Structure 1
Amino acid sequence: MSEKVTGIADLSPLWRAKEQKAWYWYDWANSAYVTTIATVLFAPYLIGVAEAAAVNNRVSVLGLQVAPGSLPSYLVTFSTILSAIALPPLGAMMDRTEKKKQWLAGFAWVGAAFASLLFFARGDNWEIGAVAIIGANLCLAASMVVNDSILPLISTEHERDRVSSRGWAWGYLGGGLLLALNLALVVVLPFGLSEAEAARISMLSAAIWWAAFTLIPFFGLSNHPPADVEPVSGNAFVRSFGQLFQTLKEMKNYPMALTFLLAYLFFNDGIQTVIASSSTYGAEQLGFGQGVLIATILLVQFVAFGGALLFGRLAARIGAKRTILGGLATWMVIVTAALFLPEGEVAPFLVLGVAIGIVLGGTQALARSYFSLLIPRGKEAEYFSFYHAMDRGTSWFGTLVFGLVYQFTGSYRPAIFALIVFFALGGLLLMRVDTARGIREAGNDVPAVV
């Protein structure tokens, strides 16, 4: 006698897995811009273009006389301030729409279009490069708010750390792969290319890579209806600010999320400053040439791929909070070891690069997934907009401390070691976060391992 069918198989895990695989590709796509353009090629290339246009070693920016060597820093700072202002209302708007994948792709494609303008910044036309980097950075920041807000929609609470870690891992792999190809182009200079032409081609390839691979999440993700939006009236702009103000009033109801945000600001600032200052430290303090520095950058990129996956597995066993704390302890060891690195010896510098790679992707990936557990459903984009906006709004703390310590001591060794304060404060604040309480306050399910 045949058995009676009493139910229908739950296919949601299969659909989630399909969307997660598509979602990973956006980290792969945008990391090409971050590594090839923002981290390596943009600043030295634009400085060269600005120097060609300079009069008395100055270019005029909105009536201000700026040294060409300072121009990239000012442009990045300006775009950072703009994004810190623009992201919170954008997040509120994203929480009110179900067409998140369209917005994600739209920001990515407009950002890639801005980035492609760098190909045309040649001769003394540095203004095109300035517009390109400001527009691309703004669109990248906006796309990351949308991208991170999709994470809770395509994964359950117990899947979150694994999915976030794999996304970061794919990002480091994709960014590192294109960077290796582009650096080979810049170093070898085939077909009679000049170094400037090779740099322009490399930056254009990163823009095309960003746009092309965004097609995968665009077609692979589904639209999810918004949940728990505030009942405010008016046009989209007015409704977005209405929801934003309501969320700001309600944030006091989620003290664990706010405590983690404060912890994140400290330890992430430390991480970003170590990365931003490592080339300066290697060149000026340890005496390494560009070849060693480039090799170290690539090493960090590819090791970070494995590091992100490793941290995801550790989080599944001991919980994300403990794993992040372990990562912060490792960062403290790293800046302490940097204090004693011998000058001119490559091997210890590369070992330190391996250590950075292991904890770099892991701490950032788990910070994203851990925060997603502490925020209420339907407010993902808003809270991630604060996550990114506050990151950008305070990202100058670490570099300020690094610069001041160097100015007072005349050495980069105590300057790099001073960043230990950011990891210590971040860790102490993170220890105050009651994970289970924060998850319950947000109305989310508590994973088996926290």
Structure 2
Amino acid sequence: MDAASTGGETATSSSSMSAKKNRSRTETVSTVASSETQQLKNAAAAEDEAEALPRWFPICCGKPILHGKPEALGFLLGMLGQVVGVLGVMTFVVPSLVYFAKKEAGCQVELEEGQDELPPCNETVYGIKPSSMITTLVSIVSICVALMTPVIGAIIDTSRHRRLIGRCIAFFYCCVILPQVFISENTWFPLVICLMLQGCTIMALSLCLHAYLPDLTDSEEELNDFTKTFTAVPGGFIIVFIIAVIGASVAFDVAGEEGPTARIAALFGVIVVAISLFISWGFLLKERPSLNALEEGQWRLTAGFKKIYLTAGRLYRTDMPLLWFFIAVALGDVKPLTGIGLTFLSSQQQFTSTDVGLAAIIMLVSAIPGAVLSAFMCRKFNPIRSSMLSLVIFSMTTIAASIFLTGPNQKPQTYVIVGCWGVVGGWKVTSTLMLVAGIIPEGGDAEYMGFYLFADSGLSWLPPLIFTAMNEAGMSERLGVSVSTVIWYVLGIGAYFMMGSYDDLIQRANRLEAPEKEHMAAISEHGDSPSKLSNSKLAIAISEEEALEEP
């Protein structure tokens, strides 16, 4: 009887396991069918939307670009206008401002017969050395941006007039770029004020534009395509823009002359910026409701700062590893090196506007293999270690620049250093973005991304300010490049170290689906690192399929 009951239980258990397997397979088939149905619906919706597109909407390979989304095209053109105004125009205008400042200070700006390099310029103009002009400008703009970001962010977040605000800022942005077409020995100082306004305006315009990003699509596949396009197209266009400016300066026989080259760049920039922003904000981007309501009794000018204060306090009490990440972002910011490096090239290495343009092309192109290297390092180790290693290499490259770049007539060596900066810069930025995507807690995207943007610009003013102080004190610019940046990179490495385990962070963030968590836990029990497969949905799908096929 016991044998019979045991046999019956065995049969029942076997039947139950078979039923569970069948149910699992049925659910899998149902899920696949549902997914295919959704894809068909999305395709049909895309076709309907494509039919409603205006005739002028760009088409590539028989299909509308950017999945036929007019607002996605508006976002791309908005990005294009911003990038051209910052990288394209300033690459040529800023060295010209330094040139005219030196000329007004009474310093020698042209080589005389028998000279290989210009003598140092120790005179002052408007109270500072001409070589401190760029870094002083960057410091002031960075402080203004750090203070304005929470205010502008709160206004955009709680206003239902997002498009109107964007249009007004875009118009003002074009207005502050236009006077740069008339840069000369007599107008250079008023244009310094215009550059300061341009730096603040670009931040406000960027916040307005990025408020549209979450509404562009609900499809993860489309969002990935958009992200690649929004990165590749502006980067490629900037390279074409700089080549066009250099080509025009050669064609008009003004290559190497600061004023004419800067005027050509400003003219091209005004045309591109005005057209792209006019189409973007005038026709493609639509009105949107407010993202959040302003609390009763709250003031828009203080709402952003209050939110940052509350977020920092909550992180300090409940999530110190994530707070250390934001500290690392602030300390390891590589953007300040742009202004410092531009000063170093213009003053120490005595680069002309054309030389600086070539250096910008090298840096932009070399950032591409840097991004590829970052992806490899993140897979090999993890984004935290990749970010730390990138800061180590960045520090070594900057120190090498201080040691080996001693003056003019070193263009090949300078271009090599600039290329290294580009590679490591692309590596660092990509690793940081991958880290943000993995460790921001689920459900806190809006709050923590706002805090991330504040951290990313909160200390950008400090390295240029230190460089300016050292330069005004008569210290070597070579020493200033290293001291003003490397010390913060070392502190940033320490902050990354304090974050702890990457695997713990991604599990705390709850970014993984339940099957992924179980699979990672199983891997951990066998002694492997979960971070190696934390983002590998293919490996998880294969393991689930093999489990279903087991007898």
TM-score by length of 1: 0.74
Report the residue type matching 2:451 in the other structure. Y
Number of the residue aligned with 1:36: 88
**Counterpart check, 1:276 vs 2:339:** yes
1:107-150 CA distance string (max 9 Å, x none): 33421221112224556244642442222111112223344555
Match among 359, 383, 387 for residue 451 of structure 2: 383
What RMSD in Å do the two structures reach over aligned CA positions? 4.7
Match among 467, 471, 488 for residue 399 of structure 1: 467
Q: CA deviation at 1:304?
A: 2.2
CA change 1:388–1:190 in 2 (3 A) is same
Residue pair 1:307, 1:361 contacting (<8 A) in 2 also: yes
**CA–CA separation in structure 1 for the residues paired with 2:87 and 2:159:** 31
- What is the identity percentage for the equivalent residue pairs of Structure 1 and Structure 2? 14
Structure 1 window deviating more from structure 2 (196-205 vs 371-380): it is: 371-380
CA change 1:324–1:177 in 2 (3 A) is farther
Number of the residue aligned with 1:144: 206
Report the residue type matching 2:89 in the other structure. I
Query: Taking CA–CA contacts closer than 8 Å with sequence separation of 6 or more, which of the two structures ends up with the larger relative contact order?
Result: 1
CA change 1:49–1:357 in 2 (3 A) is closer
Report the residue type matching 2:311 in the other structure. E
1:322-348 CA distance string (max 9 Å, x none): 433332232133124335537645444
**Counterpart check, 1:429 vs 2:495:** yes
CA change 1:68–1:328 in 2 (3 A) is closer
**CA–CA separation in structure 2 for the residues paired with 1:50 and 1:393:** 24
Q: CA deviation at 1:240?
A: 5.7
Residue pair 1:300, 1:354 contacting (<8 A) in 2 also: yes
Residue pair 1:230, 1:243 contacting (<8 A) in 2 also: no
SS of alignment partner, residue 186 of structure 2: coil
**Counterpart check, 1:88 vs 2:138:** no
Match among 335, 338, 344 for residue 398 of structure 2: 335
1:320-374 CA distance string (max 9 Å, x none): 4343333223213312433553764544433322222222234234435644652
Q: Flag the structure with larger Rg.
A: 2
SS of alignment partner, residue 446 of structure 2: coil
Report the residue type matching 1:233 in the other structure. E
SS of alignment partner, residue 404 of structure 2: coil
Q: CA deviation at 1:247?
A: 4.5
**CA–CA separation in structure 1 for the residues paired with 2:400 and 2:148:** 39
Structure 1 window deviating more from structure 2 (296-305 vs 334-343): it is: 334-343
Match among 410, 413, 422 for residue 357 of structure 1: 422
SS of alignment partner, residue 379 of structure 1: helix
Report the residue type matching 1:9 in the other structure. Q
Map 1:163-178 to 2 at 5 A: 167-178=230-241
- Unaligned 5+ runs, structure 2: 1-29, 47-65, 107-122, 517-533, 537-551
CA change 1:422–1:230 in 2 (3 A) is same
Q: CA deviation at 1:91?
A: 1.3
Q: CA deviation at 1:32?
A: 1.6
1:402-449 CA distance string (max 9 Å, x none): 649972xx4726853774332222122123335566567677668943
CA change 1:120–1:110 in 2 (3 A) is same
Residue pair 1:402, 1:419 contacting (<8 A) in 2 also: no
Number of the residue aligned with 2:5: none
Residue pair 2:363, 2:421 contacting (<8 A) in 1 also: yes
Match among 256, 262, 265 for residue 327 of structure 2: 262
**CA–CA separation in structure 2 for the residues paired with 1:66 and 1:361:** 33
Structure 1 window deviating more from structure 2 (431-440 vs 347-356): it is: 431-440
Report the residue type matching 1:209 in the other structure. V
Number of the residue aligned with 1:213: 276
Map 1:13-32 to 2 at 5 A: 23-32=75-84
TM-score by length of 2: 0.63
Number of residue pairs the alignment of both structures matches: 434
CA change 1:106–1:369 in 2 (3 A) is farther
**CA–CA separation in structure 2 for the residues paired with 1:142 and 1:327:** 30
**Counterpart check, 1:110 vs 2:172:** yes
Report the residue type matching 2:302 in the other structure. F
Map 1:176-187 to 2 at 5 A: 176-187=239-250
Residue pair 1:149, 1:380 contacting (<8 A) in 2 also: no
Structure 1 window deviating more from structure 2 (131-140 vs 412-421): it is: 412-421
SS of alignment partner, residue 124 of structure 1: coil
Residue pair 2:390, 2:424 contacting (<8 A) in 1 also: yes
Report the residue type matching 2:310 in the other structure. K
**CA–CA separation in structure 2 for the residues paired with 1:382 and 1:40:** 32
**CA–CA separation in structure 1 for the residues paired with 2:452 and 2:208:** 8
Residue pair 1:100, 1:223 contacting (<8 A) in 2 also: yes
SS of alignment partner, residue 313 of structure 2: helix
CA change 1:316–1:164 in 2 (3 A) is farther
Q: CA deviation at 1:90?
A: 1.3
Match among 10, 23, 38 for residue 9 of structure 1: 38
**Counterpart check, 1:449 vs 2:535:** yes
Number of the residue aligned with 1:298: 361
Number of the residue aligned with 1:420: 486
**CA–CA separation in structure 2 for the residues paired with 1:317 and 1:150:** 34
Number of the residue aligned with 2:541: none
CA change 1:217–1:441 in 2 (3 A) is farther
Q: CA deviation at 1:78?
A: 3.2
**CA–CA separation in structure 2 for the residues paired with 1:397 and 1:49:** 19
SS of alignment partner, residue 38 of structure 2: coil
Map 1:237-248 to 2 at 5 A: 238-239=299-300, 241-242=302-303, 244-248=305-309
Residue pair 1:263, 1:430 contacting (<8 A) in 2 also: yes
- Unaligned 5+ runs, structure 1: none
Report the residue type matching 1:133 in the other structure. L
Q: CA deviation at 1:261?
A: 2.2
1:155-187 CA distance string (max 9 Å, x none): 899888996676444443222321222233335
